[in-house]
Amino acid sequence: MMKYEFLDHPGDIKIRSFGKDLPELLQNSALGMMSFLYDIDEVKIDHREKIEIEAMDLDTLMIDWLSELLTFSDTNDSAYTEFEFEKCTDSHIVAKVGGGPAPAKDDIKAVTYSELDIKKKSEGYEAVVVYDI
């Protein structure tokens, strides 16, 4: 299964990600974002952060999850590419994420609700997220 792909967008970037279940979808959405920010093949994992998200719906959960990772990424100058979910429902995530330095490629200002679309299909999940760059 493809993890993520970049779609065209008039001004910014749009990433579609896939997952057989919700944790995999969240992970691949995060990897898609990280792959834009950094050369993730070169990452040297040297620390872990704990992330806990409580949200009123799946849309907000996705945005808050990616926003939190973006904040860690910008603050710590790190790419996060390892994910371990202790809890993952439509409204609650508890996870440990592993990250470290990697060659920086680009900047993202924010994760947006614009054109946000999360679908559950028979073969798994699909999500489209637009980022303000």
Partner 1 sequence: MVSFEKFNKISDYLWEVPRTFRKAMRVPARVYASEKMLTHVLDERAIEQLINIASLPGIEKYALAMPDIHQGYGFPIGGVAALRADEGVISPGGVGYDINCGVRLLASEVTLEDVGSKIEQIVSQMQRDVPSGVGRGGSVVLKEPELDKVLNTGVKWAISQGYATEADAEATEERGSMPGADAARVSERAKKRGADQLGTLGAGNHFVEIQEVVDIYDDRIAETFGIFPGQVTILIHTGSRGLGHQVCTDYVKLMNKVVHQYQIALPDRELSCAPFKSPEGQRYFGAMAAAANFAWTNRQILTDHVRGSWAQVLESGKQNAMRLVYDVAHNMAKKEKHDGKEYIVHRKGATRSFGPDHPVLPDKYKSTGQPVIIPGSMGTHSYLLAGTKESMQSTWGSTCHGAGRRMSRSQAKRSLDYNKLLEELDKYGVVVRAGSAKGLLEEAPAAYKDIDEVIKVVSETKIAAKVARMKPVGIIKG
Binding site for partner 1 (CB under 8 A): 6, 8-13, 56, 59-60, 63-64, 67, 71, 74-75, 77, 104-107, 109-114, 116, 132-133
**Closest CB to partner 1 among residues 1, 2:** 2
Min dist CB 11 to partner 1, Å, is 5
**Closest CB to partner 1 among residues 20, 109:** 109
Min dist CB 100 to partner 1, Å, is 13
Q: How many CB atoms lie within 10 A of CB 57?
A: 10
Query: Backbone phi, then psi, for 45, in 5-degree steps?
Result: -65, 125
Min dist CB 92 to partner 1, Å, is 16
**Closest CB to partner 1 among residues 21, 132:** 132
**Closest CB to partner 1 among residues 3, 9:** 9
Nearest to 34 by CA among 58, 75, 70: 70
Q: How far apart are CA 67 and CA 112, in angstroms?
A: 9
Q: How far is CA 91 from CA 9, 22, 61, in A?
A: 29, 11, 6
Min dist CB 70 to partner 1, Å, is 8
Min dist CB 21 to partner 1, Å, is 25
H or E element in which residue 71 lies:
helix 58-76
**Closest CB to partner 1 among residues 9, 16:** 9
Q: How far apart are CA 118 and CA 35, in angstroms?
A: 20
With beta carbons less than 8 A apart as the criterion, state whether 115 and 132 touch. Answer: no
